[in-house]
């Protein structure tokens, strides 16, 4: 007895492959919104884990991005505070 099989068209096979890659966190021809989502979750240190870097070079890049992102967010908040202080005359 032969094992059951499913016949898929080329388009269906491509869509299944894209879905598998999507679930693995692989961005091929990635959308900007997905990349921004990944950066936001990394910088805010939430890191949901649904999108992950696949090799050591990307892991290093993501780590650097998260550290620099936290630093830049702190500098931004500090500059806003300085502006408010100068407006109020403290």
User: What's the pLDDT band for 71 if we cut at 50, 70, 90?
Assistant: very high
Q: Using the structure block, give the residue that is written with the tokens 């650097």.
A: 64
Within 10 angstroms of residue 2's Cβ, the number of other Cβ atoms is 4
pLDDT tens sequence across 72-89: 999 999 999 999 999 987
Q: Which fold has domain 10-88?
A: Helix Hairpins (1.10.287)
Distance CA 41, CA 23 (A): 17
Q: What pLDDT was estimated at residue 26?
A: 63
Long-range contacts of 65-70 (CB under 8 A, 24+ apart): 65/39, 66/42, 69/39, 69/42, 69/43, 70/43, 70/45
Q: Where are the domains of the chain?
A: 10-88
The alpha carbons of the chain give a radius of gyration, in whole angstroms, of 21
Q: Please state the pTM of the whole predicted model.
A: 0.57
């Amino acid at each position: 007895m032969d094992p059951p099989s499913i016949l898929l068209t080329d388009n269906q096979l491509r869509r299944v492959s894209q879905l598998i890659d999507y679930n693995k966190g692989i961005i091929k021809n990635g959308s900007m919104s997905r990349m921004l989502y990944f950066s936001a979750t990394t910088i805010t240190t939430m890191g949901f884990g649904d999108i992950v870097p696949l090799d050591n070079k990307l892991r290093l890049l993501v780590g650097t991005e998260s550290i620099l992102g936290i630093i830049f967010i702190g500098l931004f908040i500090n500059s806003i505070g300085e502006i408010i202080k100068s407006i109020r005359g403290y």
